[in-house]
Each structure stands twice: as structure tokens, then as C-alpha cells.
Amino acid sequence: MPTGSPVDGFTLTYDRHGSPAPGRPTVVLLHGWPGDRTDMGAVAERLAGDHDVVVPDLRGFGESDKHHLDPAEFYGPAGQARSVAGLVEELGIAEIVVGGYDVGSRVGQQLAKNRPDLLRALVVTPPAPGVGQRILGEAPFAEFWYQSFHQLDLAERLVDGKPEAARDYVGHFWSHWSGPAFTPDDSRLDHMASVYGPAGAFVASIGWYRAGGGVVARSLAETVPDPADRITVPTTFVWPEHDPLFPRAWSDRLDEFFADVSVVPADGVGHFVPVEDPDTFAGAVRAATGVEALR
């Protein structure tokens, strides 16, 4: 597991599947919260035979650097996107397809805004822009409590540095946000405890929310761009059926924010699409790279 050179003092640990070669597209896969780069393992396996696949831990996650620095400057979408762009440039890859879910989706969208020159396409799950005031509805209000909790020092005192508490806390989301046919097994929850349990790990991961990266703050501050300022990178949203955070009805305004956008349904699954349904997610990436599945 190599690491990239520091960007803003943060190095990213990453896995590389497949191999770079002429005519072999490069895919960069970005995980979410509460997760790490292993969430993308099954997707990477499905692509590695005919793609070059790079799967990093984002800043503050997994085995990447975790520094106690101002979240607004270093852990928000712009900072995370700088690290991914730095890794891409260091590896000398271009025309990449970025695939991401949850936090990784937002980082991918930020990268498409800031560095469209690096991207060939974007394949992501929600969150998506266009939610607006709907985030204040009764059902969403009941789901997004954790984003306010993460702003409190109490969150750090209760969870950080306590592997058992971290396992229980992130295990709640893995169970509650997933689809009806998926139950996280002990090995996954044990792994989450190993990466979120050490001192400083949990508080680094919620730097994303303390930086205003959460969907509630972003939705309430959202403005519709001028049509000329929409994201131009071709974008596919793989939208799950049973994600309690992001109902499919919230996909109705995507064309206000993306110049070239489509939606692929992921039926029967919940929030963790790359884990619950890696075939659909990998298939959407293949459609974006133009490489058919190996026979």
C-alpha cells in the first residue's frame, strides 16, 4: 500500500489494482463515511482485469494522514479534492473516471468543478445538489441528527479512542442505512472498529462535517448556478432504492447543476452501493470508460 506525496501536509495511502497500460482506462474510487478504501474492494476487483484502478483513503480516514488542523481549511470538499488531484498528478494519470459514494461522491463533484481537465467522467451515488429546503422535512430531520452531533465536543469524548464505542456507533449506520437484504458482517464491523477506534481517528473522520461538508449545511446554503457554470464533466448518479438519507425524488433537479447527467437505478439496495451492489456500480463505471466486461 503505497502513499502519495504530501498535499497541504497530508499523504494519502492507496491501493492500486490492475495495471497502467496504453488503452487501459484509469479509475479512481473514493469511499464514504463511515468507511475507508476497503469499501471499494469489490468494485475494484470487477474492474481490475481491464482497468487501472486507484483506491485511496481520503484525508482523515483509514491509513491516510490525520492531522489536528482547522477542519474548514483542510477537511472540507476543497481540501479533500486537492489531495486527490495531487495524487492523480503524481501518478501521471489523466482522463480518469472518478467513482465515489457518500463523502467520496461530494469530493468527486468538487474535483469535477475545480479540475475538470483531469476527469473523463464522474460516477457517483447521492448526495446530489438540488435538495434545497426539502432537507428540513420531518423524515430527513430524523435521519440527519448525526451531522449536528458531530459538531459537538461530546461526540469526540464519547467515541474517539474507544474501539468498542466506535464499533457500535459506526455499526448503527452500516445497519440502518443499508438495504433490506444486506447485514454488515462481524468482519466488516471489526475492521471499522480498527480504523475508527484509535485515538484521533474518529475525530479526524468527522472533520468533514465540522468543515461544513455535510448535506444539511450544503443544502440550506445551496444556490443554483448559471447554466454556463454547471459541472460539464459527464456525470452518472447510481441512485439506490432504499437509502433513507436520499430518496429518489431528490434526483429531480440534477440538470440544474450538471450539463450532462443521467441516473442509473440500484434497486433493492441502500446507502452503501459499492458494497451492497458492486455489479451495478462497476457496470456504471464501465459504461463511463467504454470498456465492456471481460468474457
**Catalytic site positions:** 102, 209, 271
SS3 string, the chain, reads CCECCCECCECCEEEEEECCCCCCCEEEEECCCCCCHHHHHHHHHHHCCCCEEEEECCCCCCCCCCCCCCHHHHCCHHHHHHHHHHHHHHHCCCCEEEEECCHHHHHHHHHHHHCHHHEEEEEECCCCCCCHHHHHCHHHHHHCHHHHHCCCHHHHHHHCCCHHHHHHHHHHHHHHCCCCCCCCCHHHHHHHHHHHCCCCHHHHHCHHHHCCCCHHHHHHCCCCCCHHHCECCCEEEEEECCCCCCCHHHHCCHHHCECCEEEEEECCCCCCHHHHCHHHHHHHHHHHHCCCCCC
